[in-house]
Structure 1
Amino acid sequence: MAVENSISALPSPAHPLANPGYGKRGTPDQGPLRRDSFAHLPLRARYLAGFIDALPEQGAIDAKTLAKAQPLYGQAAVRSALNELSAAGHLRRVRRLSEPGAENGTTRWVFHTYWSRVARDDEWWARFLDGDVPEAEAEEPQPQKVHSDAYRRLAQLGLREPRLTLSATDCATLEAAAAEWIAREPDPQLFTQAMTGGLPATVHSPRALLAVRLRDKLPPQRTRAARDTPPPAPRTLMECTDCGRPGRPEALPGGLCRGCRDRG
């Protein structure tokens, strides 16, 4: 089978999209696609990596859909290849507890699959999924402007939710309000959820919308008793790429639970 060049494994333009909020999601600092981007992978995973990489955001990348969308591998082989991609650091499945819906006030779990053209280690994925998006690693040392935590969190919102992409001027304008928010609730994940949850279908002015959210969702001043209470249960859980078992990143090295790793 002529699959050595994984970049040639291109999906059809009609490849189905997942439901809104599901499907393929990119990660920052991917770098350009090269002929050897997936050369370190086994042949089957290399082929599927090229196929997934070419899919648009929110493209469906469950095993059943991928098996139907390409001619070489069936569903069982695709599942095995997805496990290989997960173990190599290219893919992670997660579930997040959504913000209460405006229509009924209830929360629900939403499921995302993150894809990285660059192989990432478990520590990187844990930081990314907790809302601490790692900075790009420059090939050569370059002078960088030192920004506050509030500025960086605002700038990183666009990586999680493209509708909230801000300019440098926007970030500087909102920096003080974000700093006050963070001083009252330092958890980066809660900040991201408060800013990105329950967005309208179209955001005409990300800066105006975030200014309102930073004001209206500002946490109360913490009392000493509140600061001493145990942290809330995690709202983001990684899922085993194979069986879907949820857990914290440290319990799923390579994105796989112990049973699936042992079985592989």
Structure 2
Amino acid sequence: MAKPGYGKRSAPNQLPRTRADFALLPARERYVAGFVDHLPEGAAMSVKQLAKQLPLYGQQAISSALTALSVAGHLRRVRCAVGTGDKMRWVFRTFWSRTAHDNEWWQAYLTAEHAAHTVSPAPEAPAADSASPPWGPDQEPPPPASEEPGTEQGLEPTPVPHQRTPVQAPDSLPAPPVPALRPSEAGPSPAYLALARLGHEDHRLPLSADDCQELEAQAAEWLARGVSVDYLVSALTAGLPAKVDTPLGLVRRRLTDKIPPRIPTTPSTAPGTPAPPHRILMECTDCGRPGQPEALPDGLCRPCRTTHHPDTDETPAPPTEAAQIKAHMTNLRGLLKTV
């Protein structure tokens, strides 16, 4: 079996299994097709693994048999990009069909598979909509609460006694603004603590509480740009003159002149950015060249198709060009493994 996500995938619209399956294929292709057809879902489909399980043929013979089965319309190989960001990798899958299909069927099926991977899932309905009401099926729902106490059923409003706890505002009304707390009430911020550490790190920068509160906004801008508190303290205390007459003015000047640059957020790491759609690329069964399904009829690229069908109008590639193409594809496959 292959790793989860890899290996064999059965295509739909297959006829029931009979003894006459693959009867029109040559002996080698019929032998390989019968073995592959009985493999479970997710089984390893690489040439090396199949050669280990089929002792009658080697890797080269198995590769040629798979190419012939692709031309006959029984299989297609694809690669799918899964994951996001640095964790994205290519997953190789082999779609198998006991019933042979033409290029148009495979193209439509792989296009539908690509669309299924790119469509984002529909948002789930909120749980509150499906929740059952608090009253029973034979009970009537309670009447809506009136906006003012004592006005229900024509009653006169009654004065509400003084409460120590404030009444909670309705959800429809905006919440009153919360007054900002001073550092002494809400606790000192990291920027305030960094400024307060300057006098302890170097006696030439003693800042008072009012000085720290005055410079707190500038120091907070440093921390907002991704630096740590230790970096801020070391940047403000590095290279001080022998005597500092006005510590407040010196720290203010350094906070302005030595502020670090703002690092732009890349689209792949920006919060709230939707993940890129998963791509599905079909690859040549013979050489592994990726491409769209319409560009790989019979599951083969143009050079491989010309080699296996010499009676076509396409001229075969020269030996030097074919060697360059194979070297280029080997390099691409090596780069894909490092992603």
What TM-score do you get using the length of structure 2 for normalisation?
A: 0.43
User: Secondary structure in 2 aligned to 1:130?
Assistant: helix
Equivalent pair of 2:118/2:278 in contact (CA under 8 Å): no
Aligned-CA RMSD value: 2.5
1:97, distance to aligned residue in structure 2 (A): 2.0
Aligned equivalent of 1:53: 37
Q: How does 1:202-217 map to 2 (within 5 A)?
A: 212=124
Quick one: which amino acid aligns to residue 95 of structure 2?
A: Y
Match in the other structure for 1:260:
304
3-state secondary structure, aligned to 1:237: strand
1:15-55 deviations in Å (ceiling 9; x for gaps): xx111111111111212111111112122111100000011
Q: Distance in 1 between matches of 2:61 and 2:285?
A: 14
- In the aligned structure 1, how far is the partner of 2:49 from the partner of 2:76? 17
Matched, 1:86 2:70: yes
Q: CA, structure 1 residues 260+130, in 2 after alignment: closer, same or farther (shift >3 Å)?
A: same
Aligned residue number for residue 282 of structure 2: 238
Structure 1 stretches of at least 4 aligned residues deviating more than 3 Å after TM superposition: none
Q: In the alignment, what sits opposite 2:98?
A: 117
Residues 20, 189 of structure 1: CA spacing in aligned structure 2 closer, same or farther, 3 A cutoff?
closer
Q: Distance in 2 between matches of 1:56 and 1:73?
A: 21
Q: How far 1:252 sits from its partner (Å)? A: 0.7
Within 5 A, what are the aligned runs for 1:100-179? 100=84, 106-131=87-112
- How many angstroms does 1:262 deviate by? 2.1
Q: Which has the larger radius of gyration?
A: 2
Q: Does 1:69 align with 2:50?
A: no
Q: Are the aligned partners of 2:118 and 2:277 in contact in 1 as well (CA < 8 Å)?
A: no
SS in 2 for 1:95: strand
User: Which secondary structure does the structure 2 equivalent of 1:242 belong to?
Assistant: coil
Cα distance between partner residues in 1 of 2:110 and 2:13: 15
> What count of residue pairs does the alignment treat as equivalent?
159
Amino acid at match of 1:26: S
Unaligned runs of 5+ in 1: 1-16, 134-186, 196-209, 216-231
CA contact (8 A) 1:130 1:189 kept: no
Contact kept in structure 1, 2:117 and 2:278, CA below 8 Å: no
Letter of the aligned partner of 2:94 in structure 1? T
Residue 97 of structure 1 corresponds to 81
Which letter maps to 1:263?
Answer: T
Which amino acid in the other structure matches residue 56 of structure 2? L
* Secondary structure of 1:93 counterpart: strand
The separation in 1 between residues aligned to 2:111 and 2:117, in whole angstroms, is 6
Deviation at 1:107, TM superposition (A): 2.6
TM value normalised by structure 1: 0.55
